[in-house]
Amino acid sequence: MSQDKAPKYYLVEASIVPEIFIKVTKAKELLEAGEASTVAEAVAAAGISRSAFYKYKDFISPFADLKRGHVITYHIMLRDRKGVLSGVLAIFADSGANILTINQSIPINGSAAVTISAETEAMNVSSDELMSLIEHSDGVIKIEVLAG
């Protein structure tokens, strides 16, 4: 690709993506998760060659990874109980997200709205995994992405 031409992206359903791309993504995930400490280990586990990995690694990423490295704003409805917000903040901290802002409304009818903006570049989980952890946390009514 020439340097003066901007890259073009497509969103494609995984079932039609060539198998090599899926395997390269798997190798990248093994490295990121620390399940493989070297490229050689990761490509062996994924069943591809090192040359194939290096050829495609910079050009394929799971859709969820597109949210990495960005600021994401979450809107969360919480029960008005002691420790609920603290539990949610602990999940953010454990994920490696850097919280930039927190805004909480005054509780009404036993629940409060909280808006949290977080920088996600250093997260050790995907944004979808973070949302699932928060959603299943005690006292969380619902969570959604407002922006990001």
Question: Are residues 91 and 118 located together in one domain of the fold?
Answer: yes
The C-alpha angle with vertex 110 and arms to 105 and 112, in degrees rounded to 5, equals 20
Q: What is the CATH number of the domain that holds 83?
A: 3.30.70.260
User: Which residues, 6 or more positions from 44, have their beta carbon under 8 angstroms from its beta carbon?
Assistant: none
- Strand order in 111-119's β-sheet? 98-104, 111-119, 71-79, 140-147
Specify if 54 maps to a domain: yes
Tens of pLDDT, residue by residue over 16-75, are: 999 999 999 999 989 988 899 999 999 999 999 999 999 999 888 776 555 445 888 999
Specify if 41 maps to a domain: yes
Question: Are residues 71 and 111 located together in one domain of the fold?
Answer: yes
Specify if 126 maps to a domain: yes
Report the domain count for the chain. 2
Percent of the chain scored above 90 by pLDDT? 62
Specify if 30 maps to a domain: yes
Question: Are residues 142 and 86 located together in one domain of the fold?
Answer: yes
Which residue segment(s) compose the domain that 43 sits in? 14-60
The C-alpha angle with vertex 112 and arms to 131 and 126, in degrees rounded to 5, equals 10
